[in-house]
């Protein structure tokens, strides 16, 4: 068979489940590097970014994991500059009727964004839509850094027993990780994948062919003692799957 080699990778965690997974991947990779005598510093060919609603990550993250908050400390749902009226204006201007199809009814809704999307998939998507430009800019920068540092993986690959003559070249792998049943991740992962597709041109051409999505089914929440019949988990999962297969 074809000899194995190491590839540069961009890991993107969407929502709380994606964030937890990236933290585990980061720690496991660091330990694995030490075990083969390659030091504990993770090469820049590997990049990590987490996208979630709260202004600050709800767990401590290693320095190498870039955290992109979708809401600031003063972000509101309604009122001047609020998420809903801002998106409504853009939707009307651009004749985006699809926005009305997944827009959350703002009546009686007062989300606490510092706590996340509250299992409202539409909330996660609405807040994420405002930050797609920032997500695209960070992704482009990380992709460029990953490509520029891919050659550093060659000696590390040899320590892991991979073929050292096969250089780690070409477009990085892009792995997007999210749950289907939450609010933030379930709401934004499709838009994040679309941003990657749009950015896959010029020097970054080929990234979309290397895109992999790892999506957790609702059972991922059982380990936290959450009933799968409560809240928005069933509806979020169903809506996410329907969009995937549409």
- Return the pLDDT at 79: 74
Distance CA 111, CA 114 (A): 9
One digit per residue, the tens of pLDDT, for the chain of length 246 reads 455 567 899 999 999 999 999 999 999 999 999 999 988 889 999 999 999 988 888 778 999 999 999 887 777 777 777 777 777 776 666 666 666 666 666 666 666 777 777 777 878 888 888 888 999 999 999 999 999 998 888 888 888 887 655 555 557 899 999 999 888 899 999 999 999 999 988 888 888 889 999 999 887 776 666 666 666 788 888 888 888 887
> CA-to-CA distance for 153 and 158, rounded, in angstroms?
9
| pLDDT for res 182 | 84
pLDDT of residue 156: 87
Can you read off the two tokens belonging to residue 66?
């870039």
Using CB atoms within 10 A of its CB, is residue 192 exposed (0-12), middle (13-18) or buried (19+)? buried
The reported pLDDT for the residue numbered 1 is: 45
- Beta strand extents in the chain (DSSP E only): 9-14, 46-52, 65-69, 173-179, 211-216
């Amino acid at each position: 068979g074809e000899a194995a080699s190491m590839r540069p990778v961009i890991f993107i965690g969407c929502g709380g489940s994606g964030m937890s997974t990236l933290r585990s991947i980061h720690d496991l990779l660091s330990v694995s590097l030490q075990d083969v005598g390659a030091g504990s510093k993770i090469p820049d060919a590997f990049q990590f970014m987490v996208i979630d609603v709260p202004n600050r990550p709800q767990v401590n993250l290693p320095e190498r994991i870039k955290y992109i908050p979708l809401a600031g400390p003063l972000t509101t749902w309604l009122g001047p500059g609020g998420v809903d009226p801002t998106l409504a204006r853009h939707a009307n201007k651009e004749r985006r009727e699809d926005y009305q199809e997944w827009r959350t009814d703002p009546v009686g809704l007062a989300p606490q964004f510092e706590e996340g999307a509250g299992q409202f998939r539409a909330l996660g998507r609405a807040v994420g839509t405002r930050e797609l430009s920032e997500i695209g800019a960070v992704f482009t920068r990380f992709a460029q850094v990953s490509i520029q540092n891919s050659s550093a993986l060659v000696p590390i690959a040899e320590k892991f027993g991979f073929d050292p003559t096969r250089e780690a070249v070409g477009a990085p792998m892009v792995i997007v990780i999210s749950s289907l049943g939450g609010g933030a991740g379930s709401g934004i992962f499709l838009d994040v994948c679309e941003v990657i597709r749009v950015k896959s041109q010029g020097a970054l051409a080929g990234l979309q062919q290397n895109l992999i999505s790892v999506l957790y089914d609702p059972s991922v929440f059982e380990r936290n003692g959450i009933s799968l019949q409560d809240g928005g988990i069933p509806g979020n999962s169903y809506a996410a799957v329907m969009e995937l297969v549409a």
